[in-house]
Amino acid sequence: MADLAHEEENRNHTGRLKAVILAGGKGTRARPFTDYFPKAMIPIDGKPMISHIIKHMTSFDFISEIIIVCDLKGFGGQIKNYFEESKKIKFVQDSASGTAGDLAHLAGMIKNEPFFLWFSDNLCALDMKKMYQYYSDKKSLACIATRQFRKEETGFAQVDNGIVMQFIEKPIIKMENLECTGIYVLSSKIIDMIKSKSKKNLNLSYDILQELSKKDQVSSFDIGKTPWVDVESPVILERKSEDIRKIISKISQA
């Protein structure tokens, strides 16, 4: 059934995709920045974080339109003002109904076509074309970008019988379970699923994708050792500065 839905959707879209950026939420962990502006507008290398994400998206010619979901009645209005001259960007009011609930309002804008979903505090210069191709090949209803390699932020000691044999400074480790980023390719069927739920506040992972994963309808696109940073708080900007520089540099070269 999932395969048939996927094939029907692919037949009906034009080969160009829309990308949705979730830029709502209070951003309480990003204070004091978010006492004055939304987390998506945190300055990185002289520009708002969301502008780097949009620059990366628009470097792929198959992205036809970008939809930003934010609190237009609050600090999100700053995002709209910043991009007001861009004809490729549209805005939707954040409904504060969870990471899935907000997507229900996209039904009139995304019809029978897959789309990218990107949480605005995620920085990563991943290959969006490869990720979409992977999603298509797997015939899944959802695909999430994941990684299995992570650079630790502390040093480790190799110990034998209570004696330190050597120190290992901030190694890159391979995790047993893959880490989920906030970057997805989703079938428009996901929006239909969200609209069918009676629960008011819906979490994308736990209320929607968890159910699909039990039916083998969620695929995982491994980004390998491509740098990825979740800018959840101001301290991350300093702790992850090296990775952030690499990401911004790659985006600037596109």
- pLDDT for the residue 9: 62
- pLDDT for the residue 1: 47
- pLDDT for the residue 11: 44
The total number of structural domains in the chain stands at 1
Do residues 125 and 136 lie in contact, with contact meaning Cβ atoms separated by under 8 Å? no
CA distance 31 to 50: 17
- pLDDT for the residue 6: 56
Token pair listed for 243:
């990775």
Q: Is the pTM of this model over 0.75?
A: yes
CA distance 114 to 142: 9
CA distance 147 to 20: 21
- pLDDT for the residue 73: 86
pLDDT digits (tens, 9 = 90+) for 74-115: 888 999 999 987 889 999 988 878 889 889 888 889 988 999
Q: Which stretches in the chain have pLDDT values below 50?
A: 1, 4, 11-12
Domain limits for position 32: 2-253
Question: Would you give the DSSP letter of residue 39?
Answer: G
Question: Would you give the DSSP letter of residue 170?
Answer: S
Question: Residue 132 carries which side chain, given as an amino acid letter?
Answer: Y
Task: Tell me the CATH number at 21.
Answer: 3.90.550.10
Collect all residues with Cβ–Cβ distance below 8 Å to 202 and sequence separation of at least 6.
97, 98, 99, 100, 101, 194, 208
